[in-house]
Amino acid sequence: MIRVVLAEDSSTCRALLTAVLESDSQLRIVGQAHDGEAALTLTEQLRPDVVVMDAHMPVMDGFASTRNIMLRCPTPIVIVSASMNVAHVAASMRALAAGALTLLPKPVSPSDPGFEELAQQFVRTVRAMADVKVVRRFHHPVAATLTSPLIASNLSQADGRPRPRVVGIGASTGGPAALQRVLSAMPSKVPVPIVVVQHIARGFVDGLAGWLDAVTPHNVRVAAHGDHISAGTVYLAPDDHQLWITRRGTVDLSRRVPVGGFLPAVNVLFSSLAESYGASALGVIMTGMGQDGIEGLRDLRATGALVLAQDEETSVVFGMPAAAISAGLVDVVLPLPMIGPRLFQLVRAGLQGVVP
């Protein structure tokens, strides 16, 4: 049995969410809160397996409640939002940065044609998040540097590679907060474009882009068909399209078929960079469930491109990076605080400039 604390200030919405969650025999609501402070109290008292919480609540909002829960009694938290407004989604992103695992849209009225599908996805996600271990460990000491034997050895093998001309990043669960950490650790004038596939619920990518644009020193936008990717800009894959970068350095969003169940898929982005940039691409695989990105990384590695992965200790879910590492597709494994600085070193100086 998965024990759930539900925090939602609207009694009507709370009743709907209760019905959706308890439609699964393995989910049981053990506590209901109408504000963030009550959610914190119930979580401390009941120690549930997962907290489902609205980001917009009185007394203590979802961000403050999440931050306090993660400090006092770390628990998997799923943030829900009814609004696709960029400003409102930004508030939800702050909760993700404070330690919540993922963001979901609230199920709409049962009379809506898409209700059943959305409700089933909602239940599946809550069940999956309940299994995630959420001890915050982003204080990781900087134990590995480019001059350490392991890192230097791995990079020195790549001496013949050209300087990276594009960076591709793939992430899923825990990704929004990880992206914020990586981008914040790099100065604004990154001399290459950065292209990102982040698995996120439909309707929230614009809010994610707006939040990252506001809280990092970079120009972050959702990629549009025909965009010519340019240095100093971060491009996020939009909903319901595969993001393919052509050999001309333009965005092709014409592909709309899921790959491995994902639309967009990290695999497609990495494969496009392998075809269009070869060894001049740099791939990064970060926190997330599953194995999306593995086949694309095979294509990248076949060209001689460098691949970095987030380590287990700083990954919210060590799924995608673990799969890549186990498959032998990663050159360097780094803790989250080191990924941004290392990326900037590599794209600024090239491999020759950072290897002793």
pLDDT digits (tens), the chain, 356 positions: 999 999 999 999 999 999 999 999 999 999 999 999 999 999 999 999 999 999 888 889 888 999 999 999 999 999 998 766 666 677 789 999 999 999 998 887 888 888 898 899 999 999 999 999 886 544 444 444 443 334 444 454 445 678 899 999 999 999 999 999 999 999 988 999 999 999 999 889 999 999 999 999 999 999 999 999 999 999 999 999 999 999 999 999 999 999 999 999 999 999 999 999 999 999 999 999 999 999 999 999 999 999 999 999 999 999 999 999 999 999 999 999 999 999 999 998 754 444 33
Model pLDDT, residue 108: 79
Active-site residue (options: 199, 227, 271, 331):
199
pTM above 0.85, yes or no: yes
Query: 27-33 and 194-198 as β-strands: parallel, antiparallel, unpaired?
Result: unpaired
Q: Architecture of 149-354 per CATH?
A: 3-Layer(aba) Sandwich (3.40)
Active-site residue (options: 35, 54, 227, 292):
292
- Per CATH, the number for 2-129 is 3.40.50.2300
Model pLDDT, residue 161: 77
Active-site residue (options: 81, 172, 271, 276):
172
User: pLDDT tens digits for 204-218?
Assistant: 999 999 999 999 999
Separation of alpha carbons 72 and 16, rounded Å: 29
Catalytic, 172? Answer yes
CA dist 132 → 51, 81, 294, 306 (Å): 12, 21, 21, 29
Sorted by where each begins, the domain ranges of the chain are: 2-129, 149-354
Model pLDDT, residue 87: 60
Q: Secondary structure of the chain: what % helix, strand, coil (to 5)?
A: 40, 20, 40
Domains 2-129 and 149-354 share a fold: yes
DSSP-derived secondary structure for 214-245: HHSSSEEEE--TT-B--TTEEEEPPTTS--EE
Separation of alpha carbons 262 and 244, rounded Å: 14
User: pLDDT tens digits for 304-316?
Assistant: 999 999 999 999 9
